[in-house]
Structure 1
Amino acid sequence: MSSKKTVIVYQRALKPDLREKLEREYNVLDFSQTPNLTQDAEFKKALSQAHALIGSSVTLPAELLDQAPHLEVVSSISVGVDNYDIDYLSKRGIVLCHTPDVLTETTADTAFLLILASARRAVEMAEMVRKGDWTGGIAEPHFGVDVQGKTLGIIGMGRIGAAIARRGKFGFNMSVSYHNRSRHEDFERELGADWKALDDLLRDSDFVCVTVPLSEATRHMFGKREFELMGENTIFVNIARGGVVDEPAMIDALQNGTIRAAGLDVFDIEPLPGDSPLAHMDNVVALPHIGSATHETRYAMAELAVDNALAVLRGEKPRAPYNWDALDR
């Protein structure tokens, strides 16, 4: 049996050069094409050998990871870490890594795509052309609304929120407000942004854009009351996680005209079921969770995940640890 440590790649396949980078030092087991991963007998068997896991989008519960006694690092190809039991990993001394920064600008592009497409009804109008229903001039029933000069409210002013704000401020002359657990005076100076209490932000914004991580504190933070505060002229954009929204309440708000429209890249259940009203509403732009889905960014995320794992296996501090300060060493 090889004395090399074992790395398991799951859910997302690595490009050949990144896989070769791992294979120079370690055994690599590839489960990236395995359906129903957590129920797969071969995957469970392989966990007994694993020193590192690299992948994303699969919930890895404690009872599963109990079968990996040698595990040193879980390196997620994502920014969000809501698929992981962070307390469990920290108590076991397992480093959880993620991939912030490298997807900031691409995800901000996606947010602004949703802002523009929702405001100008781009998907609805394109569908009209595709169906051959464009038979005359575009009149008021098909008008959208301006983005230029409007008020952009951002909930969660981290790296991605700030990147969205820059696009709005410097690209579209928008006024920027934000709500965050703590104030960011550097962003306020750079963007002329105003911190507001959540209710005030919802009342005052033409566009409400959500970038908060999913946690028990943020789960269903947007419900019937919050959509009523926004009002009939507001466009709601969510690039965070579907779980931060009470989805039935949002559907009611969109159907009843409580808010104008929504641009959504995330949903409670993904893939979004075909019978969901969100898949069929003219005032919804629904994307299949493409926030970071470009060739360049997904490669950069995978590269960082590999480098994070390699650093831990070599006994070094990784570039992007999530739970470093909480580890039980």
Structure 2
Amino acid sequence: MLKAFLTRPTYNTPLLTEMLLAEGIEVEVRSEPSVCPEHILKQKISEVDALLTHTEDRIDESLLELASAKLKVISNMGIGYSNIDVAAATKRGITVTNTPTEEAFEATAEATVAMLLAIARRIPALHLERKSMDHDPDPSFLRPTATSVREKVTGVVGMGRIGSRVAKTMHLGFDNQIQYYDLLSKPELESSLGARQVSLSDLMKTSDFIVVNMPLSKESHGLLSAEMINLMQDHATFINTARSELVDEEALVDRLNAGTLHGAGLDVYGNAVNKITAENIALTSHFANFEDRAYTDMTQLVANNVIATLTTGHALTPVKE
């Protein structure tokens, strides 16, 4: 019987194991919910036909050197796959797959808009204020106000499958003007939403809301530099549900703590966020697409990628370096 190893329980482990067993693939599931230790990965990668990973599992070349000749597929649970050395896997004839389901894109777009609304309306700050008291705060027009969302300008950094959904929601739902920065023009969105392609500096200077949905690459690493962060208007709201490495977080934290931004919603971030003293902040720990519909689809795609690779030699969603 073909063998697979799942590095830790996933969203719907019974569904996953049932799908694989139906195709003659036996699954060993590590019972602990934590990230899989390296010594266990070293043991299992030398034994199985399929390795089922999560984006926190580091699969580098030194680990792949221990892979069994039987290992044909590493099926990663997530849209991203930067945790896997794809070139090293490909060199050894191992297919790497990810889970770019439509539901995952929808979920991340919804989370992006949800954080934008929460920060604009100062919900995190209001929540923290009330939690620190045993009564409602005194009403006063001297208090910081929320900012309206309707009829504003949303700047989308990365008008891809997630960014385009955010743009559509903000335009049709809140009558926002849409401007975007992307390496490619999007004529269909320019036609349907009246979106304008602009330079990154213009977007940062003139947007009320800035949402970052651009994939991480060598070209985009550090794209939102300190110079770009400092171009934002004082009333701007900044949202990042893409990758933390796109942003100079020290510069962002400096602006937040100085009170020269309305607030920020970050699903992805580094250690710099531990220095934030501002209150109108939402940190969601890389859970933007963590919802029932998205993760059910992703679980099924993890299984179907394994099944397709082991039975036909062709994965459904292979990734390339």
Q: Report the TM-score when normalising by structure 1.
A: 0.89
Cα separation, 1, equivalents of 2:79 and 2:45: 24
What pairs up with 1:258-273 in 2 under 5 angstroms?
258-269=260-271
Amino acid at match of 2:75: S
Whole-angstrom distance in 2 between the partners of 1:122 and 1:320: 39
Structure 2 residue aligned with 1:21:
19
- Contact residue 264 and residue 285 of structure 1 kept, 8 A: yes
What's the offset of the Cα at 1:36? 5.3
Residue pair 2:259, 2:278 contacting (<8 A) in 1 also: no
Does residue 1:154 correspond to 2:153, yes or no? no
Deviation of residue 34 (structure 1)? Answer: 6.2
Contact 1:97–1:321 (8 Å) recurs in 2? yes
| 2:253 maps to 1:251 | yes
The letter for the 1-side match of 2:45 is: L
1:197-236 paired onto structure 2 within 5 Å: 197-236=199-238
Deviates more, 1:78-87 or 1:105-114: 78-87
Q: Does 1:63 align with 2:65?
A: no
Task: State the distance in 1 between where 2:33 and 2:129 align.
Answer: 40
1:48 corresponds to which residue? 46
Stretch deviating more after TM superposition (28-37 or 285-294): 28-37
Deviation at 1:156, TM superposition (A): 0.9
Alpha carbons of 1:311 and 1:124: their partners in 2 closer, same or farther (altered >3 Å)? same
**C-alpha displacement of 1:119:** 0.6
Please list the CA deviations of residues 171-200 of structure 1 after superposition, one character each: whole Å capped at 9, or x if unmatched: 100011111111121222222111111111
CA distance in 2, matches of 1:105, 1:32: 30
The structural deviation recorded for 1:155 is 0.8
SS at 2:230's partner residue?
helix
Shift of 1:138: 4.9
Asked if 2 retains the 8 angstrom alpha-carbon contact of 1:82 and 1:214, the reply is no
Contact kept? 2:123, 2:280, Cα under 8 Å: no
CA deviations over 1:269-297 (Å, ceiling 9, x no partner): 5xx98xx123x421322222220111222
Amino acid at match of 1:20: E
Assess, with a 3 A threshold, how the Cα gap between structure 1 residues 220 and 32 changes in structure 2: closer, same or farther: farther
Question: In the alignment, what sits opposite 2:188?
Answer: 186
Does the 8 Å CA contact 2:265/2:283 hold for their aligned counterparts?
yes
Most deviating of 251-260 and 104-113: 251-260
The residue identity in structure 2 corresponding to 1:254 is L
**Residues 16-72 of structure 1: CA distance to partner in whole angstroms, max 9, x if unpaired?**
1221211231121212526452423x4322211222122212221111121113221
- What's the RMSD between the two structures over aligned residues? 2.0
Deviation at 1:166, TM superposition (A): 1.0
Shift of 1:214: 2.0
Would you say the 8 A contact 2:53–2:76 is kept in 1?
yes
Contact residue 241 and residue 267 of structure 1 kept, 8 A: yes
Change in Cα spacing, 1:140 to 1:268, as seen in structure 2 (3 Å) is: same
Q: Are 1:294 and 2:279 matched, yes or no? A: no
Q: CA deviation at 1:210?
A: 0.4
| SS of alignment partner, residue 208 of structure 1 | strand
* Separation of aligned partners in 1, 2:118 and 2:264: 10
**Secondary structure of the equivalent of 1:114?**
helix
In the alignment, is the contact (CA less than 8 A) between 1:223 and 1:250 conserved in 2? no
Q: Which moved more, 1:144-153 or 1:50-59?
A: 50-59
Partner of 2:106: 105
Measure, in 2, the Cα distance between the counterparts of 1:268 and 1:43: 25
Post-superposition shift, 1:251? Answer: 0.8
Q: Distance in 2 between matches of 1:9 and 1:285?
A: 32
Amino acid across the alignment from 1:245: V
Assess if the C-alpha contact under 8 Å between 1:154 and 1:178 holds in 2: yes
Offset at residue 243 of structure 1 (A) = 1.7
Structure 2 match to 1:145: 147
Identity of aligned residues (%): 28
User: What is the aligned partner in structure 2 of residue 283 from structure 1?
Assistant: 280
Q: Which runs of 4+ in 1 moved over 3 A?
A: none
Amino acid in structure 1 at the alignment position of 2:93: G
Q: Compared with structure 1, are the counterparts of its residues 28 and 151 closer, same or farther at alpha carbon in structure 2 (3 Å cutoff)?
A: same
